[in-house]
Copies of this chain bind each other. A is one copy, B any other.
Amino acid sequence: MDHTRSHTSAVTTGAAGSRAADTHAADTHATDTRAAAAGTSQIGDVPVVADPDAGSVGLVKARHVTVARPPRALALEGGQSLGPITVAYETYGTLNERRDNAVLVSHALSGDAHVAGRHKPDDKRLGWWDMLIGPGKALDTERYFVICSNALGGCNGTTGPASIDPATGERFGTDFPIITIADMVNVQALLLDKLGIPKLLATIGGSMGGMKALQFAVAHPERAHAVIAIATAAQQPTKAIAFNEAGRQAIMADPEWHGGAYYGQKTPRRGLSVARMIGHITYLSDAAMREKFGRRLQDLHDYSFTFSADFEVESYLRHQGLAFTERFDANSYLYITRAMDYFDLARGKASLAEALRPAQARFLVMSFSSDGLHPPYQLKQIVSALRATHKHVSYYEVQSDFGHDSFLLERFKMEGVISAFLASSAATFTPLAASGAVAGGAV
């Protein structure tokens, strides 16, 4: 696990926002690697060249920027302040001259800034939403400038509990302040300032990413023309809090957790692994579980009559759990699940409709029929609240058996709707009125 990586060494400096944006474009199309990866097959007498990278953004790389430098540290919702904050992000496509084609993608609990393409030509792992992002895809990088940043509190380049606390020179651990979805979104806004983007064409995300998209719409209403909220909720539902709490307790029960001060030593792998197993189960529908695993045995003809992973589903979960510990920090898991559990757009407001009133965006809200974590009724609550305040809102319920994970899988059921909504949003985009409203530009 890369806990030793410095979150500050890779910070880019110097370029003004627009130039920085221009240079990103160079990263996003590596056509030479496409040709190298192309395979050849045959239909009848006709050789067919299948290009596995068709529609791909190609080779990309992560960038880093520093925001909220003291004395302008970020005031957190919980009352503390935090800064400087390093933000890891990637971009795809080109920011146009009018700067009106930027689409901000927000990731879910375990995601990161790497949302499309490959980091290396032989990378087997594509960005986590590659199916939707690239030339000709739903988020068409020939038209849109797509940005994705690692969330505050994360462990993939953005400041989080594994980062060095400048006050002590030690890793934060649980001295890291409790952060919220609102804090994450405020960091996104600071990143947009750095990139010189006064107003987004759209902010889009699924699950926790959807929470961020909704929060952005109310916290920075003048900066989002459109919001796409997928497989999410305006407040974390009780059952999701419950499963997250079980996961947190599993991590904290691991003696290797050491109250969060495990960096440089053994990590609480077993606790984090159990937390991930719990999470994984909630992402799959009953039907998807049956379909994918049923009661099939793993390399066995009969029960072993032991506690081994006889069933494929056991083997799968154990593998997923352990693999997760190689790429994710246990403390980040605690902080980010806490942020999700605290998320309640209507907190301190008379109603959800009241909470959404400041939003100026047009909304697309999308649910999945088999989503057990955020069932369609939770998305419909958002739609009802938006309609109550006469917002522009489209609602789309996707029929899918994949459960909560549908938003990561159902490319063909999602892309037409998203693509059309983005196109109509682009056609109605109005620039931010006051040019001085955004500090923007200089890194």
A262 close to chain B: CB less than 8 A: no
User: What is the CB-to-nearest-CB distance from A322 to chain B, in angstroms, rounded to a whole number?
Assistant: 10
On whether the beta carbons of A334 and B307 are closer than 8 Å, the reply is: yes
On whether the beta carbons of A289 and B239 are closer than 8 Å, the reply is: yes
- Stretch in A85-93, A313-321, A407-415 touching the partner: A313-321
Chain B's closest residue to A311 (CB) is B241
User: What is the CB-to-nearest-CB distance from A179 to chain B, in angstroms, rounded to a whole number?
Assistant: 9
A182 to B283, CA, bound (A): 33
On whether the beta carbons of A290 and B237 are closer than 8 Å, the reply is: yes
Report, as a range, how many residues of chain A touch the other chain. Answer: 35 or more
A294 close to chain B: CB less than 8 A: yes
The digit string for A305-332, where 1 denotes a CB below 8 A from any CB of B, is 1110101011001100100000000000
On whether the beta carbons of A281 and B243 are closer than 8 Å, the reply is: yes
- CB-CB < 8 A to A270: which residues of B? 249, 253
On whether the beta carbons of B307 and A248 are closer than 8 Å, the reply is: yes
- CB-CB < 8 A to A360: which residues of B? none
A236 close to chain B: CB less than 8 A: yes
Q: How many copies of this chain?
A: 2
- CB-CB < 8 A to A290: which residues of B? 237-238
Interface residues of A (CB under 8 A from B): 78-79, 174, 177-178, 235-239, 241-243, 245-246, 248-250, 252-255, 270-271, 273-274, 277-278, 281, 284, 286, 289-290, 293-295, 303, 305-307, 309, 311, 313-314, 317-318, 321, 334, 338, 341-342, 344, 372, 375
Given contacts A249-B273, A277-B246, contact A178 B306 (CB under 8 A): yes
Which of A286, A289, A334 has the most CB atoms of chain B within a 10 A radius of its CB?
A286
Which of A174, A238, A252 has the most CB atoms of chain B within a 10 A radius of its CB?
A238
On whether the beta carbons of B249 and A318 are closer than 8 Å, the reply is: yes
- CB-CB < 8 A to A306: which residues of B? 178
On whether the beta carbons of A242 and B178 are closer than 8 Å, the reply is: no
Give the 4 A-B residue pairs with the shortest CB-CB distance, closest first: A78-B305, A253-B270, A238-B289, A178-B305
A305 to B293, CA, bound (A): 40
- CB-CB < 8 A to A375: which residues of B? 286
Cβ-neighbour of A281 out of B236, B239, B277, B286 (below 8 A): B239
On whether the beta carbons of A295 and B253 are closer than 8 Å, the reply is: no
On whether the beta carbons of B286 and A239 are closer than 8 Å, the reply is: yes
